[in-house]
């Protein structure tokens, strides 16, 4: 277990020494700065899970420059927005009633199992050293309560990241639990974890749920309300706080051992198609409106055309004009439909993640399902020699793609779904280009040269086909 991290920004050397010793005595690892610019640079680039910020109000931009309230308030606002569930203590000699009101407005609270939740932002004057110590220790106890929760994983399971552990402990904490037994189900391209969790109090098991980490809690309505209940999961609660701004959707499933569709594709591709088809049919059945867009507007739900051009240019691929007209059918779409976002629960496929839900082309979900099978880090094809760039160039988007491979039935099934949803060839190639090119901005993709080669081959083929369409 690692000690929690606190960022201290204080330009008064004596006050900085006092604050740092209070923080270190409470068990924090302190990252200390005496001006705004280096603090901002660290905060914006650090991948650490920062739990606590202690900020002076009157600060200089750089050491030795004049300090002003305005600069300190700007830093406070940036931290509040960039770290929306971290603890903030504004420790200042220049607090006014108006400043207190502005600092606290809309800041919310942090979780607690007993007693009152903690205010997320506290403003203290610099002569309130005892109160500062009390606030620091009180928050440290909350973090220790989280660390006290045991996480039990299966032998041989991949190690959990710091954020994974905090997420799972935060889930268990919300249930008042002492331990959580977890098994990984799947993950998205944006570091979003999915776990089956058995939540235990000292007296025994109290709940079995699936936890899905998401960027935002979502809202009522949208695609989940338009699909049959059999094809989606019910979110029983959403948890936030102390998870680097992320949220956790808690899903109640019927089966005791749900598993990812991704796990079926390699060994039982025909069964994978059979399991997935009801979900595909349900998505295809959602009402849509035919319209004509530019290819740039069509692809906007995946990536901005300018950004796509920039990414592909680095690989020698010229992006066609984004002004090309394209006919399509627009409606509510999943937006990130890879096999890891489909769980098999009691023998039935259900969608588990609507974090990227969008209003887009009907062909979007089939295209993401097809290409993600080839490039997703969790795919059974990741690490295989097939398909190489030459096979993609010669057979992609033809009936010959996948012939002779063990997953041939899977690709044929996905292609049938694409044929049902496709409005035009230009629509197909625009979305293939946008989704393939988008992968070139993800670190877990870029570190695998084999996957990069596949993506570049698909994108080059798509760009040529779109240009000549």
pLDDT tens digits along 246-259: 999 898 776 778 88
pLDDT of 137 strictly over 80: yes
**Same-domain status, 453 and 305:** yes
The confidence band for 354, taking pLDDT boundaries of 50, 70 and 90, is confident
Which position has the higher pLDDT, 214 or 169? 169
For residue 52, the domain's CATH number is: 3.40.50.2300
Show which of 120, 144, 168 is a domain's final residue: 144
One domain for residues 137 and 190: no
User: pLDDT, tens digit, for every residue of 4-23?
Assistant: 999 999 999 999 999 999 99
Q: What is the pLDDT of residue 188?
A: 41
pLDDT classification of 433: cutoffs 50, 70, 90: very high
Question: Can you give the pLDDT at residue 190?
Answer: 43
Which of residues 220, 237, 252 is at a domain's end?
Answer: 252
Regarding whether 373 and 224 lie in a shared domain, the answer is no
Residue 2, number of CB atoms within 10 A of its CB:
10
Cα torsion angle, 298, 300, 303, 309, sign:
positive
Residues 270 and 408 in one domain: yes
> Is the pLDDT assigned to residue 341 strictly greater than 50?
yes
CATH of the domain at 387: 3.90.1200
The answer on 197 and 291 residing in a single domain is: no
Q: For the chain, what is the domain count?
A: 3
* Nearest residue to 405 via CA among 437, 432, 373: 373
Among candidate residues 252, 284, 306, the one where a domain is terminated: 252
The yes-or-no verdict on residue 170 having pLDDT over 70 is: yes
pLDDT at residue 2 in the model: 80
> Per-residue confidence at 125, pLDDT binned at 50, 70, 90?
confident
Residues 343 and 386 in one domain: yes
Domain that holds residue 329: 259-467
Span of 23-37, 124-138, 294-308 with lowest mean pLDDT? 124-138
199 shares its domain with 294:
no
Same domain flag for 225 and 335: no
The per-residue pLDDT for range 277-330, each reduced to its tens digit, is 999 999 999 999 999 999 999 999 999 999 999 999 999 999 999 999 999 999
**Domain identity same for 408 and 324:** yes
Question: Residue 216 above 80 pLDDT?
Answer: no
- pLDDT on residue 407: 92
**H or E segment and range at residue 151:** strand 150-153
Close Cβ partners of 70 (under 8 Å, ≥ 6 residues apart): none
Shared domain for 90 and 49, answered yes or no, is yes
Q: What is the pLDDT of residue 1?
A: 62
In this structure, the answer to whether residues 298 and 431 fall within a common structural domain is yes
Q: Give yes or no: residues 30 and 117 share one domain.
A: yes
What is the pTM assigned to this prediction?
0.76
Contact 208, 195 (CB under 8 A): no
Rounded to whole angstroms, the Cα distance separating 335 from 106 reads 31
């Amino acid at each position: 277990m690692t000690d929690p991290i606190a960022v201290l920004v204080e330009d008064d050397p004596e006050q900085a020494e006092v604050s740092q010793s209070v923080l270190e005595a409470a068990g924090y690892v302190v990252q200390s700065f005496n001006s705004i610019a280096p603090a901002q640079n660290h905060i914006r680039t650090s991948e650490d899970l920062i739990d606590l910020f202690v900020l002076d109000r009157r600060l200089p931009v750089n050491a030795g420059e004049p300090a002003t309230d305005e600069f300190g308030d700007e830093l406070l606002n940036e931290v509040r927005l960039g770290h929306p569930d971290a603890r903030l203590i504004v420790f200042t000699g220049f607090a006014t009633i108006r400043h207190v009101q502005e600092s606290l407005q809309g800041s919310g609270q942090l979780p607690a199992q007993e007693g009152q939740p903690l205010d997320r932002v506290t403003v203290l004057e610099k002569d309130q050293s005892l109160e500062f110590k009390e606030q620091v220790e009180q928050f440290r106890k909350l973090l220790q309560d989280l660390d006290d929760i045991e996480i039990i994983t299966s032998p041989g399971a991949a190690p959990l990241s710091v954020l994974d552990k905090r997420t799972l402990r935060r889930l268990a904490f919300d249930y008042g639990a002492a331990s959580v037994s977890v098994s990984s189900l799947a993950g998205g391209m944006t570091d979003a974890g999915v776990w089956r969790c058995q939540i235990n109090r000292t007296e025994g098991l109290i709940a079995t749920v699936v936890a899905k980490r998401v960027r935002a809690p979502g809202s009522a309505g949208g695609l989940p309300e338009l699909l049959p209940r059999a094809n989606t999961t019910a979110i029983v609660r959403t948890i936030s706080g102390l998870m680097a701004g992320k949220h956790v959707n808690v899903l109640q499933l019927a089966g005791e051992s749900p598993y990812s569709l991704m796990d079926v594709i390699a060994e039982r591709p025909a069964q994978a198609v059979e399991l997935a088809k009801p979900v595909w049919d349900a998505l295809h059945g959602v009402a849509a409106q035919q319209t004509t867009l530019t290819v740039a507007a069509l692809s906007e739900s995946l990536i901005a055309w300018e950004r796509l051009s920039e990414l592909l240019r680095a690989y020698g691929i010229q992006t066609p004009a984004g002004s090309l007209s394209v006919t399509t059918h627009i409606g509510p779409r999943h937006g990130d439909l890879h096999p890891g976002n489909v769980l098999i629960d009691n023998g039935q496929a259900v969608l588990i993640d609507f974090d990227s839900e969008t209003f887009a082309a009907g062909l979007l979900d089939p295209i993401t399902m097809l290409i993600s099978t080839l490039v997703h880090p969790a795919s059974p094809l990741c690490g295989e020699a097939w398909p190489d760039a030459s096979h993609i160039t010669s057979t992609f988007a033809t009936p010959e793609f996948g012939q002779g491979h063990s997953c041939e039935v899977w690709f044929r099934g996905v292609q049938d779904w694409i044929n049902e949803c496709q409005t035009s060839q230009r629509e197909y190639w625009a979305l293939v280009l946008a989704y393939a090119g988008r992968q070139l901005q993800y670190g877990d993709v870029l570190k695998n040269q084999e996957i990069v080669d596949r993506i570049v081959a698909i994108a080059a083929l798509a760009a040529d086909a779109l240009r000549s369409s």
